[in-house]
Structure 1
Amino acid sequence: MKISTKGRYGLTIMMELSAKFGEGPTSLKSIAERNNLSEHYLEQLIAPLRNAGLVKSIRGAYGGYILSKEPESITSGDVIRILEGPISPVDFTEEDDPAKRDLWLRIRDSIAEVLDSTTLADLISYKENGELDSYMFYI
């Protein structure tokens, strides 16, 4: 499974909104400029995040987007699943061999566990401090 730009840039949006949580709305234009990304592409990514209830849009001259929940309650898995779909290294319906099927399931579950145990607050903390409080990732 390879995470596309949808998932990677979606996490970028959510991390930017997390860093500004409680400070008011952030425009996609400012996120795009800070990260050297296409504002038009970010507009396409924010819609599913808004529809899923992770972000809220604020209209007006000083409008933009805010998180609808605290960064501690949104996981990277939430964001990736919304933008990428289910987490799966292979299509399980095509796998007949039980040993290989078990391997793919364990890989899927390991990836999901890392994504679901890493919140936006964790990612912001790592970005600011260079360490995830005692997080060790094994896949």
Structure 2
Amino acid sequence: MLVSTKGRYALRVMIDLAEHPTDGYIPLKLIAERQGISEKYLESIIKLLVRARLLTGLRGKGGGYRLTRSPEEYTVGSILRLTEDSMAPVACLEPGAKACEHASECRTLTLWKGLDKVINDYLDNITIADLIHTNPDEYDYII
């Protein structure tokens, strides 16, 4: 599993908006400036987040974007599953993958299923609120 730039930037956008809840709707330009991300690239990420109803947008003067829920209600796992093609550690565990013809005798399948569970459980137990209120070094786990 390799998290793409899109996934990392989506998390940064969500954190940025969560850190500025009283600012109302935040213009895309301001988010891009604060995060050092190209506005053009950020547009595609924002569209994805709006389509999934993680954000809401308002056009015109005073427009921009804001979270639809509180930061505690967004998990890192749910955001990354939205932006990534797959979070699976191996191809046979990807969503919609054909059943592997070697699955019945695969000595490593249990290992990969366990790793997939650990990854998803870990990411589903960290919220955007957790990322705002903690020291980044706290998430330096060794598995």
TM range (shorter): 0.7 to 0.9
Match of 2:110 among 96, 102, 114: 102
Query: In structure 2, what is the Cα distance between the partners aligned to 1:22 and 1:120?
Result: 16
Runs of 5+ unmatched residues, structure 2: 93-98
Runs of 5+ unmatched residues, structure 1: none
Aligned length: 135
4+ residue segments displaced more than 2 Å: 93-99, 134-139
Instruction: Specify the SS of the correspondent of 1:65.
Output: strand
Aligned to 1:112: 120
Please say if residues 125 and 131 of structure 1, whose CA atoms lie closer than 8 Å, have aligned partners that are also in contact: no
- Scaled by the length of structure 1, the TM-score of the pair is 0.87
Aligned to 1:39: 39
Query: In structure 1, what is the Cα distance between the partners aligned to 2:30 and 2:52?
Result: 23
- Scaled by the length of structure 2, the TM-score of the pair is 0.85
RMSD: 1.9
C-alpha change, 1:73 and 1:110, in structure 2 (3 Å) is same
Structure number with greater Rg is 2
What does residue range 1-139 of structure 1 map to in structure 2 within 5 Å? Answer: 1-92=1-92, 93-94=99-100, 96=103, 97-126=105-134, 130=135, 137-139=141-143
Please say if residues 77 and 116 of structure 1, whose CA atoms lie closer than 8 Å, have aligned partners that are also in contact: yes
